Structure 1
Amino acid sequence: MPTDLIYSDASELAELIRDRKVSSVEVVQAHLDRIEDTDPKVNAIVTLADGVLEAAKTADEALAAGVEVGPLHGVPFTVKDSFDTAGVLTQRGSPIFEGRIPDADATSVARMKHAGAILLAKTNLPEFSYSTESDNLLTGRTNNPWNLDRTPGGSSGGESAAIAAGMSPLGLGSDLAISVRGPAAHTGIVALKATHGRIPMTGVWPRVPRRDWHAGPMARTIRDLALAYSVLSGPDGADGFATVPREFDAGLGASPDRPVRLGWLTDSGLGPIDSEVAATVQKAAEALQSTGVLTEAVNIPALERDNPLDLFYRQHVMEVKPSFRDVTAGHEDQMATVSQRMLAGPDTSVRDYVLAEQGIERLRDAFAEYFQQYDALLLPVLPIPAHEHGLTRFTINGQTVNAAHIQTATIPFNLTGLPALSMRFGTSSDGMPIGVQLAANWHAESTILHIASLLESLSPVRNEHPTL
């Protein structure tokens, strides 16, 4: 199969199709062939959309007729199976929803289609999107294409694995605490969790706790994230959190009139971080400094005072349990272990819930103060590279932590709603990708996309792909 098609990014594919140097049919067929060849080993794809080749043929005919087309015309894309897709199975990783076919697309899916993209397939996830590994009772476990014995993460792990393995150039994931950025880091791709509300969550499930859930693009290049973000962002008149106009941006833009100021950290309340991960963050800071970015090691005391992981669990258990009890009532024998444990655990007291809310407010205040001095923050995505399937505890630098620790560096930006981006910048001693995370002020997506583009141009691992 043509590797120049399956590993081209969506921006290039769109240009090739518009210039009629390659047809949409050829591009779609190349990805279908890649899925047939590769997915039996990876198990990232749970459903192929019907009529994709016919849709590609229609896209080619539109170009031949001179019809004005969108920026992703004829380009295939994949979608995490928590997003509603009209006429296509959306089973949410659970036997409880087996056979479910929505009547309408999620807003983000509809916007991708309006831009000309063609829905290729749905991708795997944990049950209800509630785990950091993509495994469930209905469609099984997804493997990391860099090493099939390792996890691609969760909850958008099927999406990250599909893109990393060349089965898709571009996709949609959702993020509650880690779920686009962590899988991206595990598999060496890129992902953006925009400011909360920037991309409507209409038609994505679950929605509780609503203040923490985000939808976001996943891809192989920063320019694809920027393109997808431009397509996906803006109010839809249905999501009450999506209220900021698409054109509003609080960032620096592509050509700041002063040096970018960036702080970086590898500790400051993050707990133990693998030495290779910490070294990769420092190398990324040094690389950015070489471009004229003003970099400085920083700490954020609020991350040490209020443990974001603890705040998250005290907040979200209180809000999630009633909804999940309603959904699973009478279907307890069809629930995965993770959901069973969550529902069986102790409820959060009202006092602890209020204290958690106050802690989250202190985090917001601390970041508001931080971004008065700096344009962006550079830090790890994950404390370790991709790990073996099914681990419940990790030992990092001699310290043992439970598996929830994997979310420590990503959760603060869900709790506060700040935009954050994950991209690869290194490789572990055993060959697994290592990512770094960039965060910026609210509604300053252009800032992290600009910095990430600089960093991508300096990356020692640019254009590396897994061998399958």
Structure 2
Amino acid sequence: MADDILFSDATRLAELIRTREVSPVEVVRAHLDRIDAVDGQVNAIVTVADGALEAAKVAEAAVLAGEALGSLHGVPFTAKDSIDTAGVPTQRGSPIFKGRTPDTDATSVARLKNAGGILLAKTNLPEFSYWIESDNLLSGRTNNPWDLERTPGGSSGGESAAIAAGMSPLGLGTDLAISVRGPAAQTGIVSFKATHGLVPMTGIWPRAPRRFWHVGPMARSVRDLALAVSQLAGPDGLDAFASSAAFSAGLGRSLDRPLRVGWMVGPGLGPVDPEVAATVEAAADALRGLGVAVEPVGIPALERDFALDVFNRLHVMEMKPAFRAATAGRHEDELYKMAKTMLSLPDTSMDDYIDAEQAAERLRDGYAAYFRNYDALITQVLPIPAHRHGVEQFVIDGRTVDATYLQAATVPLNVTGLPGLSMRFGTSTDGMPINVQIIGAWQAELAILHVASLLEEVSPVRGLRPSLLG
């Protein structure tokens, strides 16, 4: 039964708890035991939340008393260590914030708790959530449960590793350029970056700037993503970007006409490994086999303006003041790689900044033109499967690129604010997960969740999990 608990999705656990087949105490204790058993190898967990078992006992009493139960009642969840948690340290992957303990929950955490979720632990990340590996001077390096010599990604790599290893059924990560979708791809789980503003960023560093930042769920199933977003969405009166757009989980609801889906791995998204490209095409073929109208496409705006370059020119200029404020007066030995790198980068000239702003507008318009004719777009998430720790240069399909290019297919959605979902649909020849990315129009979460649920039903890798940890 413990194994069933550890690798069930959150929706199933909530059902089992509601029907009294398992108790919240059993579920929380099983996950705490799993953390004790395997996290020494993975190092995904930064802090176990005090009071998780006590909260589970309260949740169990509510079930036995026949009280009204939330949709996640008694289900444990984890949160990246940049997301504020009342009474539980939130240290942002830096000795500068060692021991920092917030008084209040981030809006996203509070909403999962309001749905009955129980905070289990905080998970690892790179310093300040800034890099494609989850490694820092405070809590060290996180390893991939599929191969401990490889990375689970960044910046939400602790979350992706914890879920893949059975230490958590559901988690919260943040996404600036890659950070929930890339780590999900490296560990073979699912994750969702909703339209910018659908989920408030309140209680997450940095407060400003946040126009490219998102917070989103990471999980084991598409239905868990839909359920989590249904709890997380909506304004909180504190984040000015937060949208009042309505959201319903809505899985299984069809459009009033046939779906139209395009797929691409081509120009504008950087080089891609042939195995990854083949997985994207396989996902497109699978949809076609289900009767969906699918065809290869291109988006000219992505070829004109390389989104990764646009993002770098805009974000470096905007983010450096936050780094300066966070690191003011600190000793050099308290800073790790990314803080030093960000502070050393030259400012973007005003002409380049304005040009990049105009390029971002062209990218938004380019996607808008595409979505006049299609309901969704399928691309790669990453150009390669999970790589070994510490690699900073890659040869991908014959082209040598630096590590920032791993973000080439994900960062367009941060520049434009569009929603994107990462889900596994393949396996590399050396046994590593390969995910695809499903992209929708502005506030078209329902469409991509529907496409993802169709793919999940026919996925050739459904139910696979790492055997390395037992």
With the length of structure 1 as denominator, give the TM-score of the two structures. Answer: 0.98
Q: Which deviates more from structure 2 when the two are superposed, residues 238-247 or residues 171-180?
A: 238-247
RMSD: 1.3
The percent identity for this pair of structures is 67
* 1:387 paired residue number: 387
Q: What letter matches 2:369 in structure 1?
A: E
Q: What letter matches 1:62 in structure 2?
A: A
* 2:328 paired residue number: 329
Aligned equivalents of 2:251, 2:18: Cα separation in 1: 31
Superposition deviation, residue 51 in structure 1: 1.1
3-state SS of 1:373 partner: coil
3-state SS of 2:372 partner: helix
Q: What letter matches 1:420 in structure 2?
A: G
Contact 1:45-1:121 within 8 A present in 2 as well: yes
Measured against aligned partners, the alpha-carbon deviations of 1:208-264 in whole angstroms (never above 9, x if no partner) come to 431100000000100000000100001111110013233489x99821121100000
Aligned equivalents of 1:87, 1:188: Cα separation in 2: 32
Superposition deviation, residue 436 in structure 1: 0.1
* 2:127 paired residue number: 127
Aligned equivalents of 1:332, 1:325: Cα separation in 2: 13
Measured against aligned partners, the alpha-carbon deviations of 1:152-210 in whole angstroms (never above 9, x if no partner) come to 00000000000000000000000000000000000000000000000000001124431
Q: Which runs of 5+ in 2 are unaligned?
A: none
Aligned equivalents of 1:136, 1:245: Cα separation in 2: 37
3-state SS of 1:400 partner: strand
* 1:196 paired residue number: 196
* 1:348 paired residue number: 348
2:251 aligned with 1:280: no
- The aligned runs of 1:319-468 (5 Å cut-off) are 319-333=318-332, 334-467=334-467, 468=469
Q: What letter matches 1:356 in structure 2?
A: A
Q: Which runs of 5+ in 1 are unaligned?
A: none
Aligned equivalents of 2:22, 2:392: Cα separation in 1: 47
3-state SS of 1:366 partner: helix
With the length of structure 2 as denominator, give the TM-score of the two structures. Answer: 0.98
Q: Which deviates more from structure 2 when the two are superposed, residues 267-276 or residues 219-228?
A: 267-276
Contact 2:262-2:376 within 8 A present in 1 as well: yes
* 1:177 paired residue number: 177
Structure-2 change in CA distance of 1:10 and 1:237 (3 Å):
same
Number of paired residues?
Answer: 467
Structure-2 change in CA distance of 1:162 and 1:115 (3 Å):
same
Contact 1:192-1:218 within 8 A present in 2 as well: yes
Aligned equivalents of 1:242, 1:425: Cα separation in 2: 32
Contact 1:174-1:213 within 8 A present in 2 as well: yes
Contact 2:44-2:143 within 8 A present in 1 as well: yes
Q: Which deviates more from structure 2 when the two are superposed, residues 24-33 or residues 205-214?
A: 205-214
Aligned equivalents of 1:346, 1:160: Cα separation in 2: 33
Measured against aligned partners, the alpha-carbon deviations of 1:423-446 in whole angstroms (never above 9, x if no partner) come to 000000000000000000111101
3-state SS of 1:372 partner: coil
Q: What letter matches 1:104 in structure 2?
A: T
2:74 aligned with 1:74: yes
Contact 2:93-2:126 within 8 A present in 1 as well: yes
- The aligned runs of 1:232-311 (5 Å cut-off) are 232-247=232-247, 254-311=253-310
2:308 aligned with 1:315: no
Measured against aligned partners, the alpha-carbon deviations of 1:55-97 in whole angstroms (never above 9, x if no partner) come to 1011010111111010000000000001000000000000000
Contact 2:245-2:443 within 8 A present in 1 as well: no
Superposition deviation, residue 341 in structure 1: 1.2
**Structure 1 runs, 4 residues or longer, greater than 6 Å off:** none
* 2:61 paired residue number: 61
